[in-house]
Amino acid sequence: MSHPKEIDKSIATDTIIAEINSSPNDEQIDSISFTSEELQTTICIEGESSNSTNESYCSNIIEESEYKPDVPTEFVPVVNSVFKSLNLAVKMYTDYAEMASFHTRLSSQSKYNSQIIKEKYVICNRGGKDKPKPCDTLATSSVKRKPNSNKIIIGCTTKIIFENVYGTTDYNVKKFFEMHNHPLESIEERPYTRKARKMSYSEKEFVVRASKAKIGPTMAHKIRVVLKGGYEYVGAKVTNYKNLRRGVNRILCYKDAQIMINKMNDRRDHYPNYSFEFLRDGDLLAAMFWADEREKAFYAEFGEVISFDATFRTNKYKMVFVPFTAVDHHKKSVTVGAGLLSRETIESYEWLLKDFLRAHEGKAPKIVLTDQDAAIKQAITGDLFKNKDFKKRFNKLVWNMHIKPDEFEKKWDLIINEFNLEDKRWFNDMFELRDKWIPAYFSDTRMSGLMKTTSRSESMNSFFNTYSQSGNLLLHFMMNYDTAIQKQRNTQQELDHQTKKKEIYKGSWYCQYEHLATKNEWELYKVEQLNKNSDLKTKFEVEIKLPTNDVKCTCEHFNRFGTLCRHAFNILMKHGIKEIPEQYIENHWRKDVISRHYNFGRHVYDTGDSEINRRVNQAYYNFEARLEYVRKNKEKMDLFVKKTESMLKEYENDPTNELQKNRTDVEEVGKLMGITIPKDININVPNVQSNKGCGKKSRIQSAAEIAYKNSNKQTRRCSGCGERAPHNLRTCPIKLAAE
């Protein structure tokens, strides 16, 4: 057997053995037999002689190597040195470890009378012993487990022991072991270490807050990178962000309904005039309704006419979301209450509407509008639905505000006969209910801008869907709902502010009027409205009574919309009346209609301690505001950085700071979400229902999916509960309940 003249120091013993085993010379391999000492000698020889250099290198291969950190002497821990607190002692060793390019881990400790820490061990994060993994020797599977190449624990003996100075709060260094059994990290490797990937609390809070605006973990990570100035400044990876969201969902999961009920009950108990009710089906959540004080104020002013329409795909349980919508003094849609239903049944809607009335002190709206879009699509055939002439004539007839009931019935019959719709049940049923939905039958009823409920409801549903998604837990859904409501109310307040600064628009109307008669203190005028784009004229009759300035017009504009028409204004101006009579100024259109309700406060339903969150936000604002003053001046910027570093060290070296206790995952999630994770579960999440708007599972399944579905293969066994179930140890409900 020939041997190389020089051996590369990067070649390990295992590599050489593998080369020997793969040698093509079978006769030579069969005749070779080595002991460990002979193997070392064989590797080291050069021809028939060896030198001291090779012998030294070979001993380094067999014996365990030691690595000493390259740290200035003044930063190396000294035995018997004393610190004012254990926190400062640990901080000293952590700073030393950072300079030495390794990471630490708090290890075992002993206490006096289970109170004061007597000794505290801090070790290298690669120290300790690896836990043995169970192995089933009777397993028939031929698949062998591959060794974990990312194993961290390798038995490094580097550690430091802090001991309490008896009778004081001081701690001294009892023992210090400096040498490592593994290479230390280089500066280039630090951004990719496990410590660098560890998410701080503020970073976790950023992911949670981003989810309120329907920003998932992947997009949140991209935003974080841009805000920080590059990937090198964000240690956590996209996987860490996803794992955080997964971990939150894992802990909440089956407790979701109970957490939601507890959270809403807490709002009802602590926020003024907050209404919340829920319905249960056994131990399952069946329905919910809620309305806060501002929504009640909106309903008190704008609740004559409301609309509601269910929307879907807002949560993972397919509970339908039902927002109640009114129109405010800016002609904008506002929410006056909302509900969630697990089933779209008559009983569920009856319960929801009763709770709606109870929350608004029994005040019923004059008109409630809803959408029958799904029913219309089922009633009308495809060809007819695509017929532009039919749609144009049908819409023009239905939404005509000036037509009379008898004229409507004649034109309805013409359309039904022309398109052969006499046998269509839906059209016959809707004609029987014509006084409930055709404007011609309630021309004297105020519609408050909600004449076409389809556009209002669909617009509101689309608005909420921009903040929610189908995979939401109930808690996440409510967080998204709160964000949407904040956006809605901020828009209203901005419009209030703009309205106060606007000047009154003095327009002109293209009308001609003629005095007809005077009867019983009422003067009758004929008004012809001139159309701008044609020579056609529309005729109306206007009556005015002096000196009370009462005015009536046959266009019924005031009855429908609450504002006087141009025809009435022309007659008022003819009599020298330059101000709108007080009886025609309704609260619905006043600038200050809502401002008098602002004394109830502007509650923001944030997660966590609201006072702490407010101060944290103020701290962020103060920092950014001061940064703006020094951003363009290098000298001021350097001084600003030095001051912030000095302040940071001051807080780090504060002896009153206690050691950070290791919070459990449940405690961490509770703090992030601003909730208390309940131990007892009385209300469970609803079963996933297939409501009419949820859609069909029309995705084409692959051959593998179909084969697996039709196979008799058993579900894998959970190592937590030992049952064959569609979950694993991480998502095992028994394990989660125990935690």
Q: pLDDT category, 26, cuts 50, 70, 90?
A: very low
Phi, psi of 198 (to 5 degrees): -70, 130
> For 513-541, what is the mean pLDDT?
79
| Spatial distance between the Cα atoms of 439 and 397, rounded to a whole number of angstroms | 10
The encoded tokens of residue 11 equal 């070649």
| Spatial distance between the Cα atoms of 593 and 99, rounded to a whole number of angstroms | 64
Q: pLDDT category, 268, cuts 50, 70, 90?
A: very high
Least confident interval from 189-193, 248-252, 315-319, 497-501: 189-193
> For 226-255, what is the mean pLDDT?
90
Tell me which residue of 256, 243, 223 sits closest to 476, measured CA to CA. Answer: 256
Residue 375 has pLDDT above 80, yes or no: no
Find out whether 557 and 563 touch, Cβ atoms under 8 Å.
yes
The encoded tokens of residue 471 equal 């995979």
| Spatial distance between the Cα atoms of 207 and 440, rounded to a whole number of angstroms | 53
Residue 321 has pLDDT above 70, yes or no: yes
| Spatial distance between the Cα atoms of 43 and 13, rounded to a whole number of angstroms | 9
Sign of CA dihedral 244, 250, 252, 257: positive
Residue 633 has pLDDT above 80, yes or no: yes
Query: Residue 650's pLDDT is what?
Result: 81
Find out whether 276 and 339 touch, Cβ atoms under 8 Å.
no
Question: Going edge to edge, which strands form the sheet with 305-308?
Answer: 275-281, 284-291, 333-341, 320-327, 305-308, 367-369
The DSSP call for residue 588 is G
Q: What residues have CB less than 8 Å from 34, skipping those under 6 apart?
A: 42
| Spatial distance between the Cα atoms of 162 and 510, rounded to a whole number of angstroms | 93
> For 304-332, what is the mean pLDDT?
88
The encoded tokens of residue 523 equal 């003067």
- pLDDT tens digit string along 86-144? 989 998 999 899 888 888 989 999 998 878 899 999 999 889 887 766 655 555 444 45
| Spatial distance between the Cα atoms of 236 and 225, rounded to a whole number of angstroms | 10
Query: Residue 14's pLDDT is what?
Result: 44
Find out whether 419 and 389 touch, Cβ atoms under 8 Å.
no
Residue 273 has pLDDT above 80, yes or no: yes
Phi-psi map region of 663: left, alpha, beta (phi>0 left; psi -120 to 50 alpha) = beta
> For 38-49, what is the mean pLDDT?
36
Find out whether 74 and 106 touch, Cβ atoms under 8 Å.
no
Query: Residue 284's pLDDT is what?
Result: 94
Find out whether 526 and 513 touch, Cβ atoms under 8 Å.
yes
| Spatial distance between the Cα atoms of 229 and 389, rounded to a whole number of angstroms | 58
Choose between 462 and 436: higher pLDDT. 462
Residue 146 has pLDDT above 60, yes or no: no
Q: Using alpha carbons, list the distances in angstroms from residue 15 to 20, 34, 75, 297.
A: 9, 16, 40, 79
Query: Residue 612's pLDDT is what?
Result: 76
Query: Residue 735's pLDDT is what?
Result: 76
| Spatial distance between the Cα atoms of 388 and 306, rounded to a whole number of angstroms | 30
Query: Residue 702's pLDDT is what?
Result: 65
| Spatial distance between the Cα atoms of 167 and 446, rounded to a whole number of angstroms | 82
Count of C-beta atoms within a 10 Å radius of residue 173: 19
% the chain with pLDDT above 70: 74
By CB atoms closer than 10 A (0-12, 13-18, 19+), residue 102 is buried
Decide the pairing of beta strands 333-341 and 284-291: antiparallel
Query: Residue 48's pLDDT is what?
Result: 39
> For 212-240, what is the mean pLDDT?
91
| Spatial distance between the Cα atoms of 33 and 215, rounded to a whole number of angstroms | 64
Decide the pairing of beta strands 305-308 and 320-327: antiparallel
Alpha-helical (H) ranges within 176-253 are 194-197, 201-211, 217-228, 238-252
3-state secondary structure of 567: helix
Phi, psi of 276 (to 5 degrees): -150, 130
User: What's the one-letter identity of residue 327?
Assistant: V
Cis, bond preceding 217 (omega within 30 deg of 0): no
Find out whether 125 and 152 touch, Cβ atoms under 8 Å.
yes
Find out whether 97 and 184 touch, Cβ atoms under 8 Å.
no
Average pLDDT over the chain, rounded to an integer: 79
Query: Residue 19's pLDDT is what?
Result: 44
Query: Residue 189's pLDDT is what?
Result: 67
Phi, psi of 167 (to 5 degrees): 85, 0
Q: What residues have CB less than 8 Å from 481, skipping those under 6 apart?
A: 338, 464, 467, 468
Select the highest-mean-pLDDT range: 40-44, 490-494, 561-565: 490-494
Long-range contacts of 712-718 (CB under 8 A, 24+ apart): none
Tell me which residue of 554, 608, 548 sits closest to 575, measured CA to CA. Answer: 548
Euclidean distance between the first and final Cα of the chain, in Å?
62
The DSSP call for residue 127 is B
Residue 614 has pLDDT above 90, yes or no: no
Query: Residue 570's pLDDT is what?
Result: 87
User: What's the one-letter identity of residue 506?
Assistant: K
Find out whether 163 and 156 touch, Cβ atoms under 8 Å.
no
Strand partners, 287: 279, 341
Query: Residue 532's pLDDT is what?
Result: 61
Q: pLDDT category, 664, cuts 50, 70, 90?
A: confident
By CB atoms closer than 10 A (0-12, 13-18, 19+), residue 259 is buried
Phi, psi of 529 (to 5 degrees): -90, 125
Query: Residue 142's pLDDT is what?
Result: 47
Query: Residue 123's pLDDT is what?
Result: 94
Query: Residue 32's pLDDT is what?
Result: 35
Count, residues in the chain: 739
> For 511-520, what is the mean pLDDT?
80
The encoded tokens of residue 482 equal 């709160």
Query: Residue 118's pLDDT is what?
Result: 93
Query: Residue 132's pLDDT is what?
Result: 67
Residue 319 has pLDDT above 80, yes or no: yes
Decide the pairing of beta strands 171-177 and 82-83: antiparallel
The encoded tokens of residue 349 equal 């809607």
- pLDDT tens digit string along 179-215? 999 888 776 666 666 677 888 888 999 999 999 999 9
Residue 495 has pLDDT above 70, yes or no: yes
